Amino acid sequence: MQVRRFLRRLSTLFRFSRAEHELSREITAHLQLLEDQFVAQGMSRHDARYAAKRAFGGVEQAKELQRDARSFRWLAGWPIDLKLGVRMLARTPGLTIVGVIALAAAIGAGAAYLELTNDILKPTLDVPHADRIVGVTAWNQMQQRDETRNLTAFEAWRTNSSTVEHLGGSWPVGKHLTTPDGFTEAVRAVRISASAFQLMPAKPILGRTLRDSDEEPGAAPVAVVGHDVWQSRYNGRTDIIGSTARLGAADYTIVGVMPEGFGFPERESLWIPLQDKSRVFHVFGRLKHGVSASAAQSELSALAEAAMPDLRQKHIAIHVKPYLDSVMEEDRRSGEVIIMRAINLIFILLLGICGANVATLVFARTAMREAEITVRTALGAGRGRICAQLFTEALALSMLAAGAGLIIARYIGLWLKGLLLEGVGPMPFWWDDGLSLQTIAYAGGMAILAAAIVGVIPALKATGPQLQSRVREVASGTLTMKFGGVWTAVIVAQAALTVVFVATSFSLGWSAVKTRAGINVGYDRDRLLLAGIEWDGPRPAFDAIADKIRREPGVANVSFTSALPGTVFEQFSYEFESPDHQRNATTRMVTDELWSVGSRVDDRFLETVGFSLKEGRNFTPADVRNNAGVAVVDETFVRTVLAGRSPLGMRLRQVARGNNGQPGPWLEIIGVVSDAVVSERSGTEDASVYRPGLPDESTRLLVRTHASAGVLTQRIYAAARSVDPDIKLVDLRSAAQVVYDEGLMDRVFFRAFTVISAVALLLATAGIYALMSFTLARRTREVGVRVALGATQTDIIFGVFGRTFRQIGIGVAIGALPAFAVLESMAVSEGLMKLSAALLAILGVAGFVVIVALVSCTVPLRRALGIHPTDALRTQ
Partner 1 sequence: MASEQNVALLQGTLDLIVLRALSTMGPLHAYALANRLAQVPGHPLSLNQGTLYPALVRLEHQGLIKGVWGKTESHREAKFYRITRAGEKGLKEQTERWTRISGLVNTLLADEAP
Residues that bind partner 1 (CB under 8 A): 1, 4-5, 8-9, 23, 25-27, 29-30, 32-34, 36, 55-59, 61-63, 65-66, 68-70
CB of 43 to partner 1, least distance (A): 16
Name every residue whose Cβ is closer than 8 Å to that of residue 688 and which is 6 or more positions away in sequence.
565, 566, 596, 597, 598, 599, 633, 634, 636, 637, 675, 676
Which of 67, 786 has the CB closer to partner 1? 67
Shortest Cβ 474–partner 1 spacing (Å):
22
Question: 718-744 burial, b if ≥16 CB within 10 A, otherwise e?
Answer: bbbbebbbbbbbbebbbbbbbbbbebb
**Which CB atom, from 4 or from 583, has the smaller least distance to partner 1?**
4
User: From the CB of 58, what's the least distance to partner 1, in Å?
Assistant: 7
838: amino acid identity, one letter: A
* Strand extents, DSSP E, 636-776: 651-654, 667-673, 688-692, 700-705, 727-734
User: In terms of CB distance, is 9 or 747 closer to partner 1?
Assistant: 9
State whether residue 235 is helix, strand or coil. Answer: coil
Q: Tell me the three state secondary structure of residue 559.
A: strand
Q: Which is nearer to partner 1, 22 or 795 (CB)?
A: 22
Supply the minimum distance, in Å, between the C-beta of residue 378 and partner 1. Answer: 16
Spatial separation of the C-alpha atoms in residues 241 and 208, rounded to whole Å: 9
Q: How far is the CB of 63 from partner 1 (least distance, A)?
A: 8
DSSP string over 459-493: HHHHTSGGGGGHHHHHHHT-------HHHHHHHHH
Q: Which is nearer to partner 1, 55 or 519 (CB)?
A: 55
C-alpha 301: how far from chain center: 39
H/E run at residue 177:
strand 177-178
Q: Which is nearer to partner 1, 40 or 585 (CB)?
A: 40
Give the residue from 83, 3, 843, 122 showing the smallest Cα distance to 430.
Answer: 122
- Contact between 632 and 619 (Cβ < 8 Å): yes
- Strand pairing of 594-601 and 688-692? parallel
CA angle 447, 449, 452 (to 5 degrees): 110
Task: In whole angstroms, give the CA distance from residue 112 to residue 411.
Answer: 9
Output the smallest distance, CB 385 to partner 1, in A.
15
Nearer to partner 1 by Cβ, of 8 and 614: the residue is 8
3-state class of 589 per DSSP? strand
Report yes or no: 486 and 386 within 8 Å, Cβ to Cβ. Answer: no
Cα–Cα distance for residue pair 237/225, rounded to 1 Å: 12
Smallest distance from partner 1 to CB 27, Å: 7
Q: How near is the Cβ of 481 to partner 1 at its closest, in Å? A: 25
Residues in the chain: 876
Distance of closest approach, residue 48 Cβ to partner 1, in angstroms = 14
Q: Residue 19 or 190: which CB sits closer to partner 1?
A: 19
Task: Identify which of residues 61 and 825 has a Cβ nearer to partner 1 in the complex.
Answer: 61
- Beta carbon nearer to partner 1, 45 or 706: 45
Q: Which is nearer to partner 1, 15 or 868 (CB)?
A: 15
- The nearest distance, CB 23 to partner 1, in angstroms, is 7
Are 533 and 729 spatial neighbours (Cβ–Cβ below 8 Å)?
yes
- Nearest approach, Cβ of 78 to partner 1 (angstroms)? 20
Please state, in angstroms and rounded to a whole number, the distance separating the CA atoms of residues 648 and 613.
13
| φ, ψ at 581 (rounded to 5°) | -65, -35
Between residues 69 and 80, which has the closer beta carbon with respect to partner 1?
Answer: 69
**With respect to partner 1, which residue has the nearer C-beta, 31 or 84?**
31
Minimum distance from CB of 1 to partner 1 (Å)?
A: 5
Least separation in angstroms between residue 61's CB and partner 1 is 7
The least CB distance from residue 290 to partner 1, in Å, is: 50
Helices (H), ranges, 205-310: 227-234, 293-307
The residues near 612 (Cβ < 8 Å, ≥ 6 apart) are: 673, 674
Nearest approach in angstroms of CB 57 to partner 1 is 3
Nearer to partner 1, 56 or 749 (CB): 56
- Using CA atoms, how far apart are residues 188 and 418, in angstroms rounded to an integer? 19
DSSP 420-465: HHHHH-SPPTT---SPPHHHHHHHHHHHHHHHIIIIIHHHHHHTSG
Whether the link from the prior residue into 818 is cis, omega within 30° of 0, is: no
Smaller CB separation from partner 1, 6 or 666: 6
User: Does the CA dihedral 139-142-147-152 come out positive or negative?
Assistant: negative
Three-class DSSP labels, 611-661: CCEEEECCCCHHHHHHCCCEEEEEHHHHHHHCCCCCCCCCEEEECCCCCCC
Query: Cβ(450)–Cβ(354) under 8 Å?
Result: yes
- Angle of helix 370-378 relative to helix 344-368, nearest 10 degrees, comes to 80
Identify which of residues 253 and 468 has a Cβ nearer to partner 1 in the complex: 468
Q: Which is nearer to partner 1, 2 or 294 (CB)?
A: 2
From CA 91, how far away is CA 393, in angstroms rounded? 12
Shortest approach of partner 1 to residue 429 CB, angstroms? 58
d(CA 656, CA 663): 4
Question: How far is Cα 834 from Cα 15, in angstroms, rounded to an integer?
Answer: 66
Q: How far is the CB of 47 from partner 1 (least distance, A)?
A: 18
Residue 277 CA: distances (Å) to CA of 211, 265, 282: 15, 17, 11
> At its nearest, how many Å lie between partner 1 and the CB of residue 788?
43
User: Given the complex with partner 1, which of 24 and 213 has the nearer CB atom?
Assistant: 24
